[in-house]
């Protein structure tokens, strides 16, 4: 179920990039895309009824139904990267605004 | 000595250079030179990080393929930096991060790690391109790059979901032994291919190229067109030969993309009126050609072709962008007669062009002949025909460009080329001629690189 | 014994030497070209004809050599033209923007010739083939036009790449790059493809219809001394390829019984005939003497191809001999025009006139050259055309005979035009007093070439005997030769007899002339003008639109082929622009859109 | 009786003999350049065509002065055409003869008082035969040609020698009437 | 060798005398045709010797040299003409192509000399002459090629003998279409009326000859007489079966030349582009049709 939600988010993000003409909105769409992706990654590791993948004194056996911990680790990295990109994007958006006086791609004088 | 130093040292130096801003340029120069030197002392090996064995942990693979890739990337990087470091002091730490990212991309044997390095070097590249003073183009590049890497990540995760591994070798082994229907892996493979396609300038995914390279300066032009192209090309080559299994519709799509990139790239360059546009469109075609050769399985030749092309592009972009920076724009009419007073630079430029065209006595000729020979030996008659027809078009616009740059009666453009630049382009040009005439090591290298594919446990 | 390898290395080395000396003083570089090309020619000729060329290779990698009569024929002839033309270099070197480069590339392209004709390996041959292309490509823009080099490269590249493709196909058949093995091994459908490719290559190099548009542009705009090399020597590379295609491989093709000629050969002959006719028609209407000669090269290239395509030994011998005579004639004619161009600064016929007054030797050289070119005895061109006629008539090819004769008579028209408009007539006022005969160093090669034109016309058997060796090597019966006579299929020719008869005729005419009263000498402005007083030379000299009545008949149809290439070029550009429009904007969504399209394509094709 | 047949002839005598032989050919093949300035030209077609058939005498019209032997001036000469006449006459190859038709060439005829027409042709170029009449009829014209042939036979048609010997006198007359003989034509320069 | 050369010079001289007489007679005939008395039959000789006796003007050495070259080339060509089966200088060497191209030396010499005179009308005349040549030579050559292909020899005397051996089956009968073309081409080659655009006395003042007078013109007249002799004799040998003896030759020669003159008497002049179009429309088509019929279908009457 979570996968579907993630895919819907990815699609939304792509839709946003395709249709929005505003620089900020495109960055937001990009973020939605990334969030959808991250959600998707996490959902891959999800096991129905699984436990947190931590060995404690209660569950020190090998046949426990852990969720996959690796996607969560990946998501952490991906989020960090996503934040970095977003920050950079916003910084560039600011320069664009400074240069063109608008956020709308269609109103900028360049080809 | 360990290959990990190639990543660690630049990264450390990057942080260091923020602290000591005054010496950042020197640090950059020293580090980039050091990594070239370092390459000579690193043994070929597979490095596991953190003590986890290969399928579970991240490993770095330093085999002959990545060694030659590292040599190419580091040398080119050093050359670009050596010419530019004084002028772009502010970018020192970013360049260092970029170096770390590029080296990491080439070295890593882990697909997710590759994504990370790709993003690191990508962000460095976005930052670099802000110096073009075209924020819109940079923004465009950023959005497309991010979408591309997201797609790569999506494909990667799908594969992980199917096979439960992120290690390249292991993944390849799992796929080949699992006996899945090919259609199952096709979708993630395509996503990953597209993700790389964005960075590797393959045609439908590369609308950022015009904005970035078309208005590039002396640093970003050679850096994106040459250094980044080399690194991405090598990594794409590794993925294409080791991981991706393209069959059926997917193969059709991919070959169609590549073929279309080659043809359309040359056609666009043919119609272009600005020097940098000519160069960037031709580099689109060449990137696709390299990918095609990788796809056809002629790994060694593809690698060498990549080196020849990126070395050539280094010269071309360095010279063009230097002239453009001084003259204000890069219309052919502005640059016409550029070499009348700059013969040394002109000869190097000419050598680079003839090398790209694959005319005899130059490195490109040897490679082109060998590639065609390989195609013929595998009974592919279509691709040689396409390559040859496209070469005619390529020849026409490059020769036209060369003649414009060499001949003008009066009102010559005044451009100063400093000594380091001259030195660099002459050395690179001389190497292109050397390997064009003395072909034994080239063919040896091509054979070696092709022979080491598909060896379990890291291709040592 | 002389090693070919050594010659090649000497040639290459002297190229670089020429560059270095050219840096010191540009004339030194030019002198090196003379020494080097004379050396290469004389040693090739001497050791070649004494059968003592050594093929061992010790230094150069990959290169292997063989000595064939065919290769030697071409190599000696081409280096001869190089050697002769090189005498012009010192006088022209000061005009070039890059004199050192000129000297170097001149010698390097000659070195390439050695490589092409003496190797037994296709790859080496192609290497040198392309080597010649790019060295000569940089020589052309030192003349008048940069576009010329582009179009030269474009067509050369078409030719070279067609050749390359054929080479690879032959390599696949034979398993090695050996020339003889490759040509022998190809058969079946592949042979047809290889045949077509080689013919395309030959047409492109030789400038035959419809791949001819580069000829006038390149020849007309190349530096004056390089035009004769292009037209007399380098174009003949195409003939070499044509021999490989037409004689050495036999594609399976339908044989036209009535003509006793395979269809493939017949088609080549038809195209050759077309290039004869088109070349002639276009040459007739040129204003620039060099372009005129360039189109004449196209027409003569047609003769050579036609002769080879007939596949009879007399035709083959005619083709080979035509290569020699055309090279000598066109070389001499181009040199004469080059001398005029140097002394006056133009080669346009409408701007010149009366050059003979001050440059009589140049005039005589040109006269002899055009007599040979038009195929009039007692010059070499007559012998070769006679042999070609024999071959054409022997096959009974009516239409091609019409084309051949059209080219032959048409050549009177176009070679006469520079004679009348450029050399004869009134001297233009702007050249009065400043025009001088060309320097002695330029007269030497012109006179030597003229002498060769005469020798080829009077004693053709010296050459035909060697050509017989080439023909026998190609597996055909030699042409029957007497001491002075040539036996054709329908008649015997005795060039010496014709020459003596001509000599006697001239002596008789001279005696009549000298016995009669001496004439009164008047100037060229004192002519019959229906009583009008005209003092300006431009009005009296008929040089613009010389053949206007016949030009009028076809002037609307002269640019079709150029237009075709032009529109092809525009199509490529348009395609590029369309692609650019669809894929390149500064809007990020374009990429995303195409990504989705491609993913959609995959999903639609495979998964759904 | 002395035989002259084998005796040494002087160069002069040889030339004379050759000249006489030449005269025979010349008078039997007279080619005309018709300078048809006036109405007398109308008499020439009947002279040439089947009525009188000039060709039986070996005469015929020619296109250019270089080829012609006779310069046939048929009528009055304005100053403008006289220049052309003189120019044409000087272009003819020697020996050359001039025939003047009609009274205009003799004394100006009906144009004798015109300011634009010269009266006496032989002031400007030597005339060998005049044919009088206004206009002379065709028999007279033919008779004039026969007279010229006789004159050639008797070596009296020496106008061309006279012109050469007295060039200065003729030139003086020409300049006196025309001002400038070889004009620069404004249309062509 | 030297002897046959002298023999050849004799033939050239014979040809000059023959054609000059025949041309004179023809002038008389056309005079009679126009109800005139006509000139003397030897009028052409008178004209030529008159010209030789005059003092000419010369426009420089190329003007004179061209004339010498023209006459020399034509004399050389005439030396190869086989008059009868026995009256010929070089049996076996009288190749058709020698005539076709050696005659061009003379033409070239004359053209060169004419252009050397500096008169634009001369150059125009040369241009027209060359253009006419381009027009009429192609159909003519195609016919000749047909004949050579059929007989297997290009020797003129050989062709004459071939026709005689075939029972006087002359090619004018055997190849009627070709003969029509050959007659038309011959008329153009001789500069007869509908095709005499390059002389055009009233239009371009006799074209190439405009600047000649005196001995140069005389020599060119000699050259033209011999040229006409060559062309007519070629026709006699190629299409009328040559001649066994000199009388038959004279009869055939006279008949051919007279017939052509008579035809030309009733024509006006073509424009130059009309000449080219005419020859490339019908004669070329007929010649090619004749060639196909004769060579590929074998229909020879």
Residue with more model confidence, C4 or C306: C306
Cis peptide before D135 (omega within 30 of 0): yes
Strand partners, E120: none
* Nearest C-alpha in A relative to B136: A96
SS3 for D120? Answer: coil
Q: Which of residues 187-226 of C touch E (CB under 8 A)?
A: none
With cut-offs at 50, 70 and 90, classify the pLDDT of residue C192: confident
Q: How far apart are CA C405 and CA B3, in angstroms?
A: 77
Pick from C531, C536, C539: which is nearest to D84 by CB?
C531
Pick from C586, C588, C596: which is nearest to A110 by CB?
C586
How many angstroms separate the CA of residue D170 from the nearest CA in chain E?
22
With cut-offs at 50, 70 and 90, classify the pLDDT of residue B455: very low
Which of A66, A83, A92, A109 should one mutate to test binding to chain B, selecting the residue with the greatest count of B CBs within 10 A?
A: A92
Domain ranges of chain B: 5-451
With cut-offs at 50, 70 and 90, classify the pLDDT of residue C72: confident
Helix, strand, coil percentages for chain E (3-state, nearest 5): 75, 0, 25
Mean pLDDT of B331-336: 80
- Chains E and B lie in contact, requiring 3 or more CB pairs less than 8 Å apart: no
- Chains D and E lie in contact, requiring 3 or more CB pairs less than 8 Å apart: yes
Contact at CB, A92 and B130, closer than 8 angstroms: yes
For A103, other C-beta atoms within 10 Å of its C-beta total 17
Contact at CB, A111 and C585, closer than 8 angstroms: yes
Query: If one looks up domain A2-47+67-107 in CATH, what number appears?
Result: 1.10.287.3510
Identify how many contiguous H helices and E strands chain D contains and give both numbers: 7, 5
Query: DSSP string covering E227-254, please?
Result: HHHHHHHHHHHHHS---SSHHHHHHHHH
First to last CA, chain E: 40
Which of C119, C606, C607 should one mutate to test binding to chain B, selecting the residue with the greatest count of B CBs within 10 A?
A: C606
Tell me if chain E has a CB within 8 Å of the CB of C258.
yes
Question: Which of B174-178, C158-162, C361-365, D27-31 bottoms out in mean pLDDT, i.e. has the lowest?
Answer: B174-178
Structure-token pair, residue E90:
């070089």
Contact partners for chain C, using 3 or more CB pairs closer than 8 A, are: A, B, D, E
Structure-token pair, residue C400:
């091609």
Structure-token pair, residue C544:
């613009």
Q: Which residues of B touch C104 (CB under 8 A)?
A: none
Place of tokens 């292109």: B432
- pLDDT value, residue B452: 56
With cut-offs at 50, 70 and 90, classify the pLDDT of residue D88: confident
Which of C409, C421, C454, C496 should one mutate to test binding to chain E, selecting the residue with the greatest count of E CBs within 10 A?
A: C409
pLDDT, tens only, C1-17 = 578 888 888 888 888 88
Q: Shortest CA distance to C496 belongs to which of C459, C546, C540?
A: C459
pLDDT, tens only, D18-35 = 888 888 888 888 888 888
Mean pLDDT of B206-212: 82
Pick from B191, B198, B207: which is nearest to C583 by CB?
B207
CA distances from C245 to A15, B233, C123, C241, E36 (A): 60, 41, 17, 6, 68
With cut-offs at 50, 70 and 90, classify the pLDDT of residue B451: low
* Nearest C-alpha in C relative to B138: C586
- pLDDT value, residue A60: 62
How many angstroms separate the CA of residue D104 from the nearest CA in chain C?
21
Q: Which residues of C touch A18 (CB under 8 A)?
A: 589, 592-593, 596
Contact at CB, D66 and E211, closer than 8 angstroms: yes
Identify how many contiguous H helices and E strands chain E contains and give both numbers: 12, 1
Distance of CA C505 to the CA centre of its chain: 34
Contact at CB, C532 and D66, closer than 8 angstroms: no
Average pLDDT of chain B is 83
Query: If one looks up domain D15-178 in CATH, what number appears?
Result: 3.40.50.12280
How many angstroms separate the CA of residue B135 from the nearest CA in chain A?
6
SS3 for C521? Answer: strand
Contact partners for chain D, using 3 or more CB pairs closer than 8 A, are: C, E
pLDDT at B458 over 60: no
- pLDDT value, residue D32: 87
Query: DSSP string covering C199-265, please?
Result: HHHHHHHHT-TTS-THHHHHHHHS-TTHHHIIIIIITHHHHHHHHIIIII------EETTTTEEHHH
How many angstroms separate the CA of residue B398 from the nearest CA in chain C?
9
Average pLDDT of chain C is 84
Contact at CB, E202 and D64, closer than 8 angstroms: no
The 3-state secondary structure of chain A, one letter per residue? CHHHHHHHHHHHHHHHHHHCCEHHHHHHHHHHHHHHHHHHHHHHHCCCCCECCCCCCCCCCCCCCECCCHHHHHHHHHHHHHHHHHHHHHHHHHHHHHHHCCCEHHHCCCC
Q: Which of residues 54-93 of A touch B (CB under 8 A)?
A: 70-71, 74, 77-78, 81, 84-85, 88-89, 92-93
Pick from C389, C501, C540: which is nearest to E79 by CB?
C501
Contact at CB, D83 and C533, closer than 8 angstroms: yes
pLDDT at C509 over 70: yes
SS3 for C65? Answer: strand
How many angstroms separate the CA of residue D82 from the nearest CA in chain C?
10
Pick from E96, E148, E219: which is nearest to C512 by CB?
E219
Contact at CB, C535 and D88, closer than 8 angstroms: no
Distance of CA B285 to the CA centre of its chain: 13
* Nearest C-alpha in C relative to B398: C150
With cut-offs at 50, 70 and 90, classify the pLDDT of residue D187: low
- pLDDT value, residue C605: 64
Mean pLDDT of C109-130: 86
Domain ranges of chain D: 15-178
- pLDDT value, residue C49: 80
- pLDDT value, residue B460: 37
Mean pLDDT of E286-293: 86
H helical segments located in B328-418: 332-335, 343-357, 363-377, 382-406
Place of tokens 């009308």: E121
Helix (H) or strand (E) holding D73: strand D70-74
Mean pLDDT of C185-198: 83
For B214, other C-beta atoms within 10 Å of its C-beta total 20
Q: How far apart are CA C544 and CA C355, in angstroms?
A: 16
First to last CA, chain A: 43
Contact at CB, D83 and C534, closer than 8 angstroms: no
- pLDDT value, residue D6: 58
Pick from E60, E75, E93: which is nearest to C494 by CB?
E93
For D149, other C-beta atoms within 10 Å of its C-beta total 20
Place of tokens 């040859």: B388
Contact at CB, B143 and A88, closer than 8 angstroms: no
- pLDDT value, residue B5: 82
With cut-offs at 50, 70 and 90, classify the pLDDT of residue B456: very low
With cut-offs at 50, 70 and 90, classify the pLDDT of residue C99: confident
Mean pLDDT of D69-93: 85
Question: Backbone phi, then psi, for C3, in 5-degree steps?
Answer: -85, 135
pLDDT, tens only, E149-208 = 888 888 888 888 888 887 777 888 888 888 888 888 888 888 887 887 777 666 777 778
CA distances from E301 to E172, E289, E297 (A): 10, 15, 12
With cut-offs at 50, 70 and 90, classify the pLDDT of residue A109: low
pLDDT at C90 over 80: yes
pLDDT at E18 over 80: yes
How many angstroms separate the CA of residue E67 from the nearest CA in chain D?
15
pLDDT at D77 over 60: yes
pLDDT at B454 over 60: no
With cut-offs at 50, 70 and 90, classify the pLDDT of residue D5: low
Strand D97-101 versus strand C261-262 pairing type:
unpaired
Contact at CB, B205 and C594, closer than 8 angstroms: yes
* Nearest C-alpha in C relative to D89: C531
Q: What's the sign of the alpha-carbon dihedral B298, B301, B303, B306?
A: negative
CA distances from B155 to A71, A86, B258, E81 (A): 14, 22, 20, 93
pLDDT at C59 over 80: no
Structure-token pair, residue C87:
């005498």
With beta carbons less than 8 A apart as the criterion, state whether B401 and B274 touch.
Answer: no
With beta carbons less than 8 A apart as the criterion, state whether E211 and D66 touch.
Answer: yes
Q: Which residues of B touch A34 (CB under 8 A)?
A: 146, 150
Tell me if chain C has a CB within 8 Å of the CB of D164.
no
């Amino acid at each position: 179920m979570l996968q579907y939600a993630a895919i819907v988010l990815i699609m939304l993000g792509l839709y946003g990039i395709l249709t929005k003409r505003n620089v900020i909105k495109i960055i937001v769409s990009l973020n939605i895309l990334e969030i959808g992706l991250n959600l998707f990654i996490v959902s891959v590791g999800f096991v129905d009824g699984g436990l947190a993948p931590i060995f404690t004194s209660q569950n020190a056996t090998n046949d426990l139904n852990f969720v996959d911990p690796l996607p969560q680790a990946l998501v952490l990295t991906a989020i960090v990267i996503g934040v970095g990109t977003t920050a950079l994007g916003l910084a560039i958006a600011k320069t664009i605004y400074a240069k063109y006086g608008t956020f709308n791609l269609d109103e900028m004088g360049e080809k | 000595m360990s290959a990990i130093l190639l990543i660690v040292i630049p990264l450390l130096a990057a942080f260091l250079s923020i602290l000591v801003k005054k010496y950042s340029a020197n640090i950059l120069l020293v580090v980039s030179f050091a990594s070239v030197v370092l390459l000579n002392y690193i043994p070929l090996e597979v490095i596991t990080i953190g003590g986890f064995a290969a399928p579970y942990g991240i490993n770095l693979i330093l085999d002959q393929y990545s060694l030659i890739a590292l040599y190419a990337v580091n040398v080119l990087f050093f050359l670009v930096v050596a010419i530019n470091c004084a002028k772009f002091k502010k970018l020192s730490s970013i360049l260092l991060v970029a170096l770390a990212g590029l080296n990491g991309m080439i070295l890593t044997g882990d697909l997710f790690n590759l994504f990370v390095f790709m993003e690191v070097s990508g962000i460095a590249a976005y930052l670099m391109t802000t110096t073009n003073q075209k924020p819109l183009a940079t923004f465009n590049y950023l959005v497309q790059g991010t979408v591309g890497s997201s797609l790569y990540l999506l494909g990667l995760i799908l594969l992980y979901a199917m096979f439960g591994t992120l290690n390249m070798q292991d993944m390849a082994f799992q796929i080949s032994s699992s006996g899945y229907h090919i259609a199952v892996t096709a979708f993630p493979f395509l996503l990953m291919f597209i993700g790389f396609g964005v960075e590797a300038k393959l045609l439908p995914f590369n609308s950022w190229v015009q904005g970035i390279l078309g208005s590039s300066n002396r640093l970003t032009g050679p850096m994106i067109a040459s250094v980044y192209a080399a690194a991405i090309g090598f990594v794409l080559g590794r993925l294409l030969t080791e991981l991706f299994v393209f069959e059926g519709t997917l193969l059709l799509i991919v070959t169609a993309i590549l073929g279309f990139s080659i043809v359309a790239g040359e056609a666009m360059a043919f119609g272009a009126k600005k020097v940098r546009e000519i160069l960037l469109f031709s580099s689109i075609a060449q990137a696709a050609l390299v990918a095609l050769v990788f796809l056809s399985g002629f790994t060694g030749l593809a690698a060498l072709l990549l080196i020849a092309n990126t070395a050539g592009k280094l010269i071309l972009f360095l010279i063009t962008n230097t002239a453009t920076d001084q003259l204000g724009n890069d219309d052919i009419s502005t640059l016409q007669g550029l070499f009348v007073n700059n013969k040394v630079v002109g000869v190097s430029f000419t050598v680079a062009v003839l090398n790209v065209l694959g005319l005899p006595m130059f490195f490109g000729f040897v490679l082109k002949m060998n590639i065609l020979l390989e195609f013929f030996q595998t009974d592919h008659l279509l691709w040689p025909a396409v390559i040859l027809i496209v070469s005619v078009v390529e020849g026409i616009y490059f020769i036209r460009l060369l003649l414009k740059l060499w001949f003008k009666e009066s009102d010559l453009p005044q451009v100063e080329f400093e000594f380091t630049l001259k030195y660099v382009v002459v050395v690179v040009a001389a190497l292109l001629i050397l390997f064009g005439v003395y072909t034994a090591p080239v063919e040896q290298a091509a054979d070696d690189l092709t022979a080491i594919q598909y060896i379990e446990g890291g291709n040592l | 014994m002389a090693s070919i390898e050594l010659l090649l290395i000497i040639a290459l080395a002297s190229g670089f030497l020429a560059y270095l000396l050219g840096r010191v003083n540009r004339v030194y570089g030019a002198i090196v070209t003379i020494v080097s090309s004379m050396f290469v020619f004389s040693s090739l000729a001497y050791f070649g004809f004494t059968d003592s060329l050594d093929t061992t290779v010790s230094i150069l990698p990959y290169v292997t050599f063989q000595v064939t009569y065919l290769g030697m024929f071409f190599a000696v002839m081409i280096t001869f033209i190089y050697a002769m033309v090189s005498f012009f270099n010192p006088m022209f070197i000061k005009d070039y923007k890059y004199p050192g480069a000129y000297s170097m590339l001149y010698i390097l392209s000659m070195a390439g010739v050695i490589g092409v004709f003496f190797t037994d390996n296709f790859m080496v041959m192609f290497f040198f083939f392309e080597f010649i292309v790019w060295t000569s490509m940089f020589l052309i823009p030192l003349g008048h036009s940069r576009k010329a080099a582009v179009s030269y490269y474009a067509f050369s590249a078409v030719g070279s790449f067609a050749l390359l493709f054929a080479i690879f196909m032959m390599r696949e058949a034979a398993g090695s790059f050996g020339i003889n093995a490759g040509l022998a091994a190809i058969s079946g459908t592949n042979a047809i493809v290889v045949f077509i490719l080689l013919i395309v290559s030959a047409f492109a190099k030789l400038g035959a219809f419809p791949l001819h548009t580069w000829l006038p542009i390149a020849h007309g705009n190349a530096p004056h001394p390089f035009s004769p090399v292009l037209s007399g020597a380098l174009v003949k590379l195409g003939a070499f390829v044509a021999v490989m295609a037409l004689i050495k491989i036999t594609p399976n093709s339908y044989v036209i019984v009535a003509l006793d000629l395979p269809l493939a050969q017949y088609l080549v002959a038809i195209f050759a005939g077309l290039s004869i006719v088109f070349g002639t028609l276009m040459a007739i209407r040129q204003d620039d003497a060099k372009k005129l000669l360039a189109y004449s090269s196209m027409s003569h290239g047609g003769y050579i191809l036609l002769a080879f395509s007939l596949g009879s030994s007399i035709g083959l011998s005619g083709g080979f001999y035509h290569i020699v005579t055309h090279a000598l004639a066109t070389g001499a004619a181009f040199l004469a025009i080059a001398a005029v161009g140097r002394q006056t600064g133009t080669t346009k016929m409408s701007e010149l006139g009366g050059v003979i007054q001050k440059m009589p030797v140049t005039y005589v050289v040109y006269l002899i050259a055009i007599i040979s070119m038009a195929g009039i005895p007692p010059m070499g061109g007559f012998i070769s055309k006679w042999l070609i006629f024999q071959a054409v008539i022997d096959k009974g090819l009516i239409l091609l005979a019409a084309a051949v004769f059209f080219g032959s008579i048409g050549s009177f028209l176009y070679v006469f035009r520079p004679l009348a408009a450029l050399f004869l007539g009134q001297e233009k006022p702007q050249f009065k007093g400043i025009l001088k005969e060309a320097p002695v160093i330029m007269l030497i090669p012109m006179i030597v070439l003229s002498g060769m034109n005469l020798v080829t016309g009077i004693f053709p058997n010296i050459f035909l005997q060697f050509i017989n060796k080439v023909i026998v090597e190609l597996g055909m019966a030699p042409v029957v030769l007497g001491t002075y006579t040539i036996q054709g299929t329908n008649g015997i020719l005795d060039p010496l007899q014709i020459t003596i008869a001509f000599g006697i005729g001239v002596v008789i005419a001279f005696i009549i002339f000298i016995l009669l009263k001496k004439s009164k000498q008047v100037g060229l402005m004192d002519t019959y003008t229906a009583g009008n007083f005209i003092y300006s030379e431009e009005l009296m000299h008929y040089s613009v639109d010389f053949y206007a009545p016949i030009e009028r008949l076809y002037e609307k149809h002269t640019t079709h082929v150029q237009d075709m290439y032009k529109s092809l070029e525009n199509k490529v550009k348009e395609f590029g622009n369309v692609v650019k429009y669809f894929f390149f904007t500064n809007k990020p969504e374009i990429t995303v859109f195409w990504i989705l399209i491609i993913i959609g394509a995959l999903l639609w094709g495979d998964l759904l | 009786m002395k035989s002259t047949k084998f005796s040494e002839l002087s160069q002069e005598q040889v030339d004379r003999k050759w000249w006489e032989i030449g005269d025979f050919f010349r008078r039997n093949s007279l080619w005309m350049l018709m300078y048809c300035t006036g109405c007398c030209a109308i008499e020439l077609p009947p002279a040439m065509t089947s009525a009188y058939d000039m060709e039986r005498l070996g005469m015929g019209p020619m296109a250019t002065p270089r080829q012609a032997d006779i310069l046939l001036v048929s009528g009055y000469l304005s100053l403008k055409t006289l220049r052309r006449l003189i120019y044409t006459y000087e272009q003819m190859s020697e020996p050359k003869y001039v025939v003047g038709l009609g009274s205009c060439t003799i004394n100006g005829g009906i144009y004798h008082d015109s300011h634009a027409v010269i009266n006496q042709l032989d002031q400007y170029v030597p005339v060998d035969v005049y044919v009088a009449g206004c206009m002379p009829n065709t028999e007279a014209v033919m008779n004039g040609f026969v007279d010229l042939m006789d004159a050639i036979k008797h070596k009296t048609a020496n106008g061309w020698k006279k012109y050469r010997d007295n060039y200065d006198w003729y030139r003086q007359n020409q300049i006196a009437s025309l001002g400038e003989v070889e004009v620069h034509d404004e249309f062509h320069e | 060798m030297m002897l046959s050369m002298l023999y050849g010079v004799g033939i050239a001289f014979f040809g000059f005398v023959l054609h000059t007489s025949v041309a004179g007679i023809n002038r008389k005939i056309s005079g009679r045709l126009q109800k005139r008395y006509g000139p003397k039959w030897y009028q052409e000789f008178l004209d030529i010797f008159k010209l030789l006796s005059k003092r000419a003007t010369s426009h420089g050495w190329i003007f004179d040299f061209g004339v010498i070259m023209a006459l020399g080339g034509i004399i050389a060509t005439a030396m190869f003409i086989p008059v009868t089966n026995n009256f010929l200088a070089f049996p076996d060497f009288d190749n058709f192509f020698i005539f076709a191209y050696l005659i061009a030396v003379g033409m070239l010499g004359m053209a060169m000399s004419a252009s050397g005179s500096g008169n634009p009308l001369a150059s125009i005349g040369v241009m027209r002459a060359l253009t006419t040549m381009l027009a009429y030579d192609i159909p003519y050559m195609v016919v000749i090629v047909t004949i050579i292909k059929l007989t297997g020899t290009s020797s003129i005397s050989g062709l004459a003998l071939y026709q005689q051996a075939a029972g006087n089956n002359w090619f004018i009968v055997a190849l009627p279409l070709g003969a029509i073309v050959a007659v038309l081409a011959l008329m153009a080659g001789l500069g007869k009326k509908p095709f005499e655009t390059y002389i055009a006395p009233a239009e371009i003042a006799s074209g190439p000859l405009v600047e000649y007078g005196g001995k140069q013109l005389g020599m060119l007249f000699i050259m033209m007489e011999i040229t006409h002799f060559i062309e007519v004799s070629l026709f006699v040998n190629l299409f009328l079966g040559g001649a066994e003896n000199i009388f038959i030759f004279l009869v055939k020669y006279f008949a051919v030349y007279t017939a052509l003159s008579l035809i030309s008497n009733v024509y006006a002049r073509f424009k130059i582009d009309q000449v080219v179009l005419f020859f490339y429309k019908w004669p070329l088509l007929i010649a090619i049709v004749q060639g196909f019929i004769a060579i590929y279908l074998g229909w020879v009457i």
